[in-house]
Chains A and B, each alone.
Chain A
Amino acid sequence: MKFTINGKAYDQDVPEDMPLLWALRDTFGLVGTKFGCGIAQCGACTVHVDGTPVRACITPVGAVEGEAVTTIEGIGQTKEGKALQAAWLEVDVMQCGYCQAGQIMTAAALLKETPKPTDADIDVAMDGNLCRCATYTRIRAAIKKAAGVALADTREA
């Protein structure tokens, strides 16, 4: 099976029904993409397939054959990814950090679609990504920082 992952070509035998998550982690050794639930509930496994965020835990690898996959290891090469990584550090979003690869991947897709997101846009885009440590306040702020919009949380208080 042929894939492009983070711009690099791979050609390897992988059972078609193996979820992309496990192919990335255990076949290709790209362990930045995380396992949290396996049933599309947490978003820890978010990657981009041709620019669209998908849950790698429920995406059979056969379905992405020939497509371009971007993971957290490669997202820094995009404009949005780079800005988000910098903002994440400036705001110091992380607690345990386990969810943050997925958060950044989802946020990168959001900024690509909506370069100046509102709080409502952020809520809709990010609701599928759980953070057990509950760093939501800072994820929101970091997305805004990366987007260059005002940081204040405009939701009703």
Chain B
Amino acid sequence: MDDVKISRRLFVSAAVLAGGGFVMGFGASPSEAQSAAARLTDYVAVAPDGTVTIRAKNPEVGQGVKTMLPMIIAEEMDVDWAQVRVETAPVDEKTYGPQFAGGSLTTPMNYETMRRAGAAARAMFLQAGAEALKVPVAELSAVKGTVVHKASGKKLSYGTLATAAAKVPVPDLKTVALKDPKTFTLIGQFKGGVDSPKIVRGAPIFGIDTVVPGMKYAILAKPPVYGAKLKSANLDDIRKLPGVAQVFTLEGKGDFHGIQDCVAIVADQWWYAKSARDQLDIVWDEAIGVPHDTATYAAQAETLLTGSGEPIRDKGDVRTALAAAAKTVEAVYETPFIPHVPLEPQNCTARVTADGIEIWAPTQSPGGGRRLVAQTLGVPEEKVTVHMVRGGGGFGRRLENDYMVEAAAVAQKAGVPVKLLWTREDDIAYDYFRPGNYHRLRAGLDGAGGLSAYQAHGVTFARGGKTAQGAGITPDGFAQITVPNYRLEQSLIETLVPTGYLRAPSSNSLAYVHECFLDEVAHAAGKDPFDFRLHLIETAGKGPAAEGRGPDYDLKRLKVILDTLRTRSGWDRRKPAAGEGFGLATYFSHRGYFAEVAKVRVSPDGTWRVLKVWVVGDVGSQIINPAGAINQVEGSVIDGIGELRQAITFDKGRAVQGNFHEVPLMRMSEAPHIDTHFVLSDNPPTGLGEPALPPVIPAVCNAIFAATGVRVRKLPLTPEALAKKA
């Protein structure tokens, strides 16, 4: 996810719609754009009645791209948003380029290209208008889907001009004139989600709502320990149960992302399948799970942290600097495995016929799913059609397509279309978890209270000897860039447990570890946490920045958001009551700069509550849709606070926790006040699905320290850890 190319080369081509009208196709080459226009895929179309149809190409899982991307095109095209219909594009990465929802990358990958495509369309309508009105194009302007000749007062709608505009040569995208952002009328406006009217009426638009003629319902019994082998099961008993149509086994293929040994139950309704599964007597050979206990992992980590690890960053001379330091600070931090739990349980509907495979999936990675299905079922990729269906949350879980290939395999073997649906317990048991990690940190302060050395040894998890998915521990951190002597070492624990990417992967644990420790260091230096960071910024040299993760960490941008946050949060005038505290943290991830202050209250019994969070972020020059943007920030903040309380533990390889009573999510009464502010900087707009999340976790922990004097060095944060010992 980290190294995706940001700019996509885009070509456009135009054609006349059957029956009249304008269609513009996009593609990664001129010929692909032409065929896209001809096939009416990946397009913008203007019908003679003026209706504008824009295809939204990326999966929608609540991050708002289905609304935001079309807004960019509509702005540059100068069409009326009320005339725009948004349709979900088919999955076809040859035509569309990458189609996925991850890494907060949709905005940076598409902002510029979508603007240029829209601007090209506008230029074509203006040209067609000039020819129709016989006036120079320079005298024309475009307003809400109409070409206007101010001098004569003449107007022609885009609908009227559509067929003619389709015949105008497409301008060069590299040089096409873009609007001055100061004149934007749509970008920057609060626009509700395009699917929202359907959602409030309960219309069937989610993956789980898919119905295909002749469809049956399926559930799987998968191994409770990843990769365990099926020994026996009472399949014949299950076949006799009410509503059950078929019961069979699928064999694991050894693919980490794919199918494991399992029992599939296909029934007339899902409830019959689920009830039948409750009767299943199934024996697994799960001996491979035995070494994989949370307690064992912790003991291994403790041992590893007493030694040194493999150096993965080394600048200056940490050893000498630590020896020379006026003061040193040391701490050990620990984070647990946590789950994704999107509210819509994993599901997928599949139909397999002689002609090919058709899939309806709420997925963040439809192209990856398509390849996985093709490989697993041994069919050419062209024979697999994936329909992107709205997903009830993603958070990175739906970058994996295990449920997709399972549905396809079940449908193939059953010979009927099936809707596969997991229970919540399945969703937790079979997650690709955010892995935990363990860290020993040492910092050295110079005589002036500045940070002279920073040493970190992180223990994280490996699969097959290599750092596991989502388990990277190289922080895009702040101290690491500003400190002259810095060393990061890594040690690995082999895990059987599948791990993956959770919203702001790596950052969601590393921000906690390093920003809490930085607060400890500031405290040891006797400095205010704002002052301490600002001093680091002033004295910073250039360092090993966010290698492989986009642009270098720009300390000037960080300084601006810190200054803004200090004012907005009233930091210097704060007056916490007894049991209350304020905490600061910052983090740079996914190209976004965020700084957050949390205000918390801790009761004597150790229960804690976040009262308010102030957020200041810099994601570039433009907030495209404030409606979605603010929602993402508020969601990230509350999500992050929720993560403080979560942990998945393992008993011989099995996840112990089963449902929401054991995986607490934040609830209405717990959600704090949130003050969100964006600093607009002179940088290209970047994404908001993730970067507001990481800093809230350390901001809350630092506030808890301010309130109680207790450092939160281990998550999950329990009331017992904070209760006043009587």
Give A residues with C-beta under 8 Å from B. Answer: 15, 18-19, 22, 25-27, 29-39, 41-42, 44, 71-73, 76, 84-85, 88-90, 92-101, 104, 122-124, 126-140, 153, 155-157
Contacts and interface: CB of A to CB of B under 8 A. Distances in A.
Residue of B342, B612, B631, B634 ringed by the most chain A CB atoms within 10 A = B631
Nearest to B660: A41
Given A98-B206, A126-B667, A136-B638, 4 more contacts: A34-B392, A95-B632, A134-B639, A156-B611
A129 B668 contact: yes
Contact of A33 (B202, B392, B393, B395): B202
Interface string B241-278: 01000000000000000000000000001110000000
Interface string B175-213: 000000000000000111101110111111010110100
B391 interface: yes
A92 B193 contact: yes
B494 to A, nearest CB: 31
B211 A96 contact: no
Which 10 residue pairs spanning A and B have beta carbons closest together? A32-B202, A98-B392, A96-B62, A72-B202, A134-B638, A123-B669, A136-B671, A95-B62, A97-B199, A22-B271
Interface of B: 61-64, 190-193, 195-197, 199-204, 206, 208-209, 211, 217, 242, 269-271, 341-345, 390-395, 421, 423-424, 599, 611-612, 627-628, 631-632, 634-635, 637-639, 642, 659-661, 665-669, 671-674
Given A37-B659, A95-B62, A155-B673, A132 B341 contact: yes
Contacts of A93: 196
B196 A89 contact: yes
B67 to A, nearest CB: 9
Nearest to A129: B668
Contacts of B191: 92
26 contacts: A22-B269, A25-B270, A31-B204, A31-B211, A36-B344, A36-B345, A41-B659, A42-B660, A85-B200, A89-B196, A89-B200, A94-B62, A94-B192, A94-B193, A96-B344, A97-B196, A98-B206, A98-B344, A123-B669, A132-B393, A132-B665, A134-B642, A134-B666, A134-B671, A136-B668, A140-B668
A128 B242 CA distance: 33
A14 to B, nearest CB: 9
A133 B209 CA distance: 19
Contact of A34 (B201, B344, B390, B666): B344
A29 to B, nearest CB: 7
A137 B671 CA distance: 7
A85 B201 contact: yes
B392 A127 contact: no
A98 B393 contact: yes
Contact of A101 (B62, B202, B424, B642): B202
Contacts of A127: 667-669
A139 B202 contact: no
Given A26-B217, A98-B343, A130 B660 contact: yes
Contacts of A36: 343-345, 424, 660
Contacts of B201: 32, 72-73, 76, 85
A22 B421 CA distance: 12
Contacts of A100: 199-200
Contacts of A88: 196, 200
Main secondary structure of the interface of A (DSSP, over half): loop
B668 A97 contact: no
A46 B426 CA distance: 22
Contacts of B270: 22, 25-26
Contacts of B217: 26
B667 A89 contact: no
A136 B671 CA distance: 7
Contacts of A38: 423-424, 659
Contact of A122 (B61, B190, B666, B668): B668
Contacts of A71: 202
A31 to B, nearest CB: 4
Contacts of B394: 96
A32 B660 contact: no
Nearest to B674: A137
Contacts of B671: 134, 136-137, 140
B55 to A, nearest CB: 20
Contacts of A33: 202
A130 B611 contact: no
Given A133-B635, A138-B631, A26 B269 contact: yes
B208 A34 contact: yes
Contact of A37 (B209, B393, B424, B638): B424
Contact of B208 (A30, A31, A94): A31
Given A89-B196, A92-B193, A155-B673, A130 B667 contact: yes
Contacts of A128: 667
A157 B673 contact: yes
Contacts of B242: 15
Residue of A41, A73, A123 ringed by the most chain B CB atoms within 10 A = A41
B391 A96 contact: yes
Contacts of A132: 341-343, 393, 395, 639, 665
Nearest to A103: B668
A157 B613 CA distance: 9
A153 B628 CA distance: 20
A42 B665 CA distance: 9
Given A136-B666, A137-B671, A31 B209 contact: yes
A129 B661 CA distance: 13
Residue of A89, A95, A96 ringed by the most chain B CB atoms within 10 A = A96
A128 B632 CA distance: 22
Contacts of B341: 132
Nearest to B613: A157
B310 to A, nearest CB: 37
Contact of A94 (B190, B196, B202): B196
Nearest to B424: A37
A123 to B, nearest CB: 4
B343 A104 contact: no
Residue of B343, B345, B394, B635 ringed by the most chain A CB atoms within 10 A = B343
Nearest to A41: B660
B667 A39 contact: no
A71 B202 CA distance: 9
A123 B631 CA distance: 20
Contacts of B635: 95, 133-135
Contacts of A29: 211
Contact of B196 (A15, A19, A37, A92): A92
B202 A73 contact: yes
Contacts of A94: 62, 192-193, 195-196, 199-200
Contacts of B659: 37-39, 41
Contacts of B197: 89
Contacts of A22: 269-271
Contact of A99 (B190, B343, B390): B343
Contacts of B390: 96-97
Contacts of B660: 36-37, 39, 41-42, 130
Contacts of A19: 271
Nearest to A84: B200
Contact of B342 (A31, A96, A126): A96
Given A19-B271, A22-B271, A92 B199 contact: no
B631 A95 contact: yes
Contacts of B421: 35
Contacts of B639: 132-134
Contacts of A25: 270
